[in-house]
Structure 1
Amino acid sequence: MSMEFDLERKFCRIGGEVSVSDGSVIEGYASLFGAPDQGGDVVAAGAYAACLAGLSARGGKVKMLWQHDPAQPIGVWDEVREDARGLYVKGRILADVAKGREAIALINAGAIDGLSIGYRTKKASKDAGGKRHLHELELWEVSLVTFPMLPEARVGAKGDAPEADTLRGLAAALEDARGLLTRG
C-alpha cells in the first residue's frame, strides 16, 4: 500500500492478558514511554500530547484498524490518553463488522496478541547509541496485528487493579533513572 505521507508503524505485544469483555471491549497500552522497540526507537513521555489535544479540539478520533489496513476499520477507540506509563487505549471491536467478529474470535483463541500504532514523526532526535527518541508524534491509528514490535506493552483485562499500573509506572521511572545514570 502506498501513501503520500511518511506513516510509520510500531507494534506492541498485548500478550496473554488480552481479553475481550462484554463481547467487544479491549483496553491496554499501545505504546510505552522509555522502552526501546525492536527497531531502536524510544517514545518520550508527552509525545502524543499535542496530537491528542488537537484531535479532541476538533472532535476527531484515533482509528481502530485491522492489520493497518485503512479499508478495514474494526471498531472504535473510546479512550486514548497518555499517562505515566505510556499511551493507554480502550475501545470496542464492532461485532457487526465481519473483520470485527474475526478479530474477537482470534483474540479469544490467542491467535492475535499485538497492537500497533500508525503515526507520523514530527520531532525526533538520535542518541550516541543510534536509538531514535520520538518527542512528538501525530497518531493516526492503533491496529490489532499479528506481530508485535514492543513486547513490553500489553492489553490487560478490563478492570486491571490500579496497584498494577502504579507498580508498572514506578518500574518505568526506575528504569529511566538507571538509563540516565549509566549515560553519565
Structure 2
Amino acid sequence: MTDLNLVGESYAHSLVSAGKVDKTSPWSFDSADGNALLGKGGDDWDNYSKHHLGLDRSANDKTKARFKYPFAKADKVYRSGLVAAKQRAAQQNDAAVEKAAAALLELIDKPKSASGYDRKAVTFEFKFSGGDTGSFEGYGSVFNNEDAYRDVMLPGAFTKTLADYKSRGKMPKMLLNHGSMGGGLFGSSDPMADLPIGKWTDMSEDSHGLHTKGQLINLDTERGKTIHGAMKEGQLDGLSIGYTATGFTRGAKDNEPRRKIHEVKLWEVSPVTFPANDQAMVSSVKSMAGQITTVRQFEDFLRDVGGFSHFAAKSIAQKGFRAVESESDARLDAFMASLRDAKQATA
C-alpha cells in the first residue's frame, strides 16, 4: 500500500495556485526525468520527493522505489500526469492518492473565480514571543517586489482594507495554506480546511510591507501541536495573503510586471508550506548567518534560506558563487543583496 505524500500534495497545490500547469501535453516520466529531479549530484531527494504523490514506506529511504505516482517535472504540474496517477492509484487501491489527484484535477479544471481571488506569498522568519504561547509576527507581503505571478504590491495597497476591518472591529482570517481555496496541507476536501488555525491580533503597513502579529489557537490539540511545531522548526516557513486586487495598473511591455497593485481587498492571511516569492529572506539571513561555523552549515544555510539546490549549495560553499552556472544571475544577485542588507542591518 502506498501512502499519500503530503509534501508532494502541498507542492502540487502551490504549483497549481501559481498557474504552473501544463493542461495539454501527454505525460511521460522515465529514468532520465527522475535523474533530472535528483540534480547533478544525484542526491537531491527533497526535490525528487515533492514531485510525487505517493510514498512507499516499505522501500528504503532515498531510493526511487520509495516514491510513487509522479505528476510534475521542470517545476510544472501536468494534468495528464494527475490523470495517470488517479487511474493507477484506483487500480492499486491507494485511495488517499486517488483522492488527492482527483482534488487537484478539480482545482485545475474548475472555472476561475469571478471574484478575482489571488494569492501572494513570501518566505519570512517566524518570530515567536517568549514561551510556547503560539504568538508570532512577520511580514505577509513585501512592497516593490515582483513575485512569482509577476505582480508588484505597492505601498499603500492595504490602507483602505485595513481601515475597513478596523472600523468593524475585525481582522482577516488566519487559515493554513489558504484552506479550501488553496488546497492546503490537509487537503482541499478536508472538513477542517477552512477552520482558522489562529487569529490575527494586529496588522499595519510600514516601509517594508504588511507587518502582522498573530496567535495560534488550539495548541492542546494534535493539529495545533503539529502546526506550531512545524513553524518553530522552520518547515512551515511562508506567509501568504488571499486578496482581490481592486486597483492596479497593467504592464504594457514584456519586461514590465504583469500588474502594479495599489489597492486590494484582503480576505485572509495564511501560513503556507511553499511560498511563491523568493525575495523576502533578509530576516532569515540575519537570524541564521551568525550560527554558521562549518562548511556543512553554510551548505545548509544556502539551501534552506537561499533556496539553492543541494548541488548548487555544495558547489558554492566549496568554490564560491560563480562556480554554479546553473543558477540564474537573478537568484544570485537577489541572494547577495540579501546578505548585504542583513550585514548593514546588523552593523
* Bucket of the pairwise TM-score, normalised by the shorter protein: 0.7 to 0.9
Shift of 1:51: 0.4
Q: Is contact 2:174–2:270 with CA below 8 Å preserved after alignment?
A: yes
Residue 280 of structure 2 is aligned to residue 153 of structure 1 = yes
Deviation at 1:86, TM superposition (A): 0.5
**Counterpart secondary structure, 1:39:** coil
Call closer, same or farther: CA 1:98–1:61 in 2, change over 3 Å.
Answer: farther
> TM-score, with normalisation over the residues of structure 1?
0.76
Change (3 A) 1:41 1:111: same
Structure 1 residues 27-72: Cα deviation after superposition (integer angstroms, max 9, x where no partner):
1111011011111100010000000001101112111111111613
- SS at 1:142 equivalent: strand
Match of 2:236 in 1: 112
Q: Secondary structure at the match of 2:195?
A: strand
Percent identity, please. Answer: 35
Pair 1:12 & 2:122 matched: yes
1:44 matches 2:167: no
User: 1:52 & 1:148 partners in 2: Cα distance?
Assistant: 23
For 1:55 and 1:18, locate their aligned partners in 2 and report how far apart those are by CA, in whole Å. 24
Question: Partners of 1:86 and 1:62 in 2: how far apart?
Answer: 16
Kindly report the root-mean-square deviation, in angstroms, between the aligned alpha carbons of the 2 structures: 2.5
Given candidates 164, 171, 177, the residue that maps to 1:67 is 177
Is 2:246–2:265's contact at 8 Å kept on the other side of the alignment?
A: yes
Alignment match, 2:246: 122
Inter-partner Cα distance in structure 2 for 1:140 and 1:155: 27
More strand by proportion, 1 or 2?
1
- Matched to 2:198, the amino acid is G
Determine if contact 1:26/1:155 at 8 Å carries over to the other structure.
Answer: no
Give the count of matched residue pairs.
158
Q: Which runs of 5+ in 1 are unaligned?
A: 161-167, 172-184
Using CA pairs under 8 Å that are at least 6 residues apart, name the structure with larger relative contact order, 1 or 2. Answer: 1
Distance in structure 2 (CA, Å) of the matches to 1:48 and 1:89: 12
Residue 4 of structure 1 deviates from its aligned partner by 5.7
Contact 2:127 2:138 in 1 (8 A): no
1:178: which partner in 2?
none
Check 1:73–1:125 CA distance in 2 against 1; reply closer, same or farther (3 A cut): same
Q: Structure 2 length as normaliser, TM-score?
A: 0.42
Unaligned runs of 5+ in 2: 1-106, 180-192, 288-337, 342-347
Matched, 1:90 2:213: yes
